[in-house]
Amino acid sequence: MTTLARLVEVHRLAVAGGQAVIARDVGDRVGRVWLPRSRFADVAALAEATLTLGPDAGAFYHLGWAQTATGQPRPALASYQQACTGTARPATAATKPPPSPTSATCTTGSATGSMP
C-alpha cells in the first residue's frame, strides 16, 4: 500500500471515528496532492467527508477548487465564501495554508477577485 493510499485510509478512519483534527490534517495533505493531478471528484468527496465533522476553511477551499474545476461556479463561490467567514484554523508552523489557485482574496467575510 502506498503512502497516499494509507493517508486516504487514515482519513476514512478519522472521519468514521469522529477525529476532526486528524481528518482535517490528513484531508489537507491528500487534497494538496490530488488537486494538481486533476482528481477533482475525489477531492470533493474527501472535503465533504471532512466537513461532516464541522466547518474547516481548508476543506471548504479544496471543495471550492474541485467545484470550480468541474463546472460548478455557484457552489464553488459558496464554498470559497464559507472558507473566508471565520472557519479558518489558526496557522502554525506545522500547518501552512494551501497554495492559492486563484487570485481571490477574503475581505470581511466575502470573496472578491476571479475564480480559476
- What pLDDT is recorded for position 1? 74
Quick one: CA dihedral 15, 21, 22, 23, positive or negative? Answer: positive
Q: Are 103 and 112 in contact (CB under 8 A)?
A: no
- What pLDDT is recorded for position 23? 98
Q: Are 15 and 50 in contact (CB under 8 A)?
A: yes
Task: Please report the beta strands in 1-116, taking only residues with DSSP state E, as ranges in sequence order.
Answer: 105-107, 110-112
- Whether 79 has a pLDDT exceeding 80, the answer reads yes
- What pLDDT is recorded for position 34? 97
Query: How do the domains of the chain map onto residue ranges?
Result: 3-89+97-112
- Whether 5 has a pLDDT exceeding 80, the answer reads yes
Written as nine digits, the cell of 3 is 503512502
Cα of first residue to Cα of last residue in the chain, in angstroms, is 34
Nearby residues of 98 by Cβ (< 8 Å), 6 or more positions away: 28, 31, 32, 58, 61, 62
Distance CA 30, CA 68 (A): 18
| pLDDT digits 0-9 by tens, 14-44 | 999 999 999 999 999 999 999 999 999 999 9
Nearby residues of 16 by Cβ (< 8 Å), 6 or more positions away: none
Q: In this prediction, what percent of the chain has a pLDDT beyond 90?
A: 71
The CATH number of the structural domain formed by 3-89+97-112 is: 1.25.40
Residue in the block written with cell 493531478: 37
